[in-house]
A and B are shown apart, each in its own frame.
Chain A
């Protein structure tokens, strides 16, 4: 079974702190994604990566950056956390870019609260 793990299930940070969210997948997938999930808005794509050291902006990249130094690991960084970044963050991976026929495998999510 594909497994996508996220470093924390719950995280509480203060405004202005630098926050790292880590995601690891164990199936040698090419693509990795970071989404945030808010009620009534579904999942919104922050960044995705189709290869090591490659990244592409999604719909809402402002206030975030990412790092992919190894194929299995994709990190989301909040340079200076703000209260409007309080949300559920979901990481996903997929084998290759097949568009909407490609299955995305998700981690359990990190619920981040910024005070």
Chain B
């Protein structure tokens, strides 16, 4: 059992569509991060959310931290082919860092 479960595991959509990716846990996190990994590269940090209920926007990407600090979501508006990649949530409930199971997004032109 993974500490951070992401859904869906795979997502294939047309350019211009909206989508939401979820990151869920039974544990409470002081903060959560989202990373994006492009093929052949390591993950790169997109955002850190630190307050329950917090919403952060990064251009067309909207990140939300759940009120109970056990979950987070990533919403992409009008997806572009450049959004294609593996999206990973991550957090440290204690002194060890955990990554989620990942959502592989493909945006078709």
Task: Determine which of A35, A92, A99, A108 lies in contact with B30 in the assembled complex, contact meaning CB atoms within 8 Å.
Answer: A99
Inter-chain contacts of B43 with A (CB < 8 A): 43, 90, 104, 106
B96 within 8 A of A: yes
Q: Is the CB of A100 within 8 A of B4?
A: no
Task: Categorize the interface residue count of chain A.
Answer: 20 to 34
**B-facing mask of A9-30, CB < 8 A → 1, else 0?**
0000000000000000000000
Inter-chain contacts of B97 with A (CB < 8 A): 33, 45, 48, 100, 104
CA distance A24 to B70 in the complex (A): 34
Q: Is the interface of B mostly helix, strand, loop or mixed?
A: loop
Inter-chain contacts of B99 with A (CB < 8 A): 35, 42-44
Q: Is the CB of A106 within 8 A of B96?
A: no
Task: Determine which of B2, B40, B42, B90 lies in contact with A100 in the assembled complex, contact meaning CB atoms within 8 Å.
Answer: B90
B24 within 8 A of A: no
| Closest Cβ–Cβ distance, residue B81 to chain A (whole Å) | 21
CA distance A43 to B90 in the complex (A): 9
**A-facing mask of B35-60, CB < 8 A → 1, else 0?**
00000111111001010000000000
CA distance A48 to B98 in the complex (A): 12
| Closest Cβ–Cβ distance, residue A106 to chain B (whole Å) | 3
B9 within 8 A of A: yes
**A-facing mask of B84-109, CB < 8 A → 1, else 0?**
00001011100111111110000000
Which 4 residue pairs across A and B have the least CB separation, nearest first? Answer: A106-B42, A43-B99, A100-B92, A100-B31
Subset of 14 A-B contacts with CB under 8 Å: A40-B102, A42-B99, A42-B102, A48-B97, A90-B42, A90-B43, A99-B92, A100-B29, A100-B90, A101-B48, A103-B33, A103-B48, A106-B43, A106-B44
Q: Which A residues have a C-beta under 8 Å from some C-beta of B?
A: 4, 33, 35, 40-45, 48, 58-59, 90, 92, 97, 99-101, 103-109
Beyond A40-B102, A48-B97, A109-B41, list 17 extra A-B contacts (CB 8 Å): A41-B101, A42-B4, A42-B88, A42-B100, A43-B90, A59-B98, A90-B42, A92-B42, A97-B95, A99-B31, A99-B92, A99-B95, A100-B29, A100-B48, A101-B50, A106-B43, A106-B44
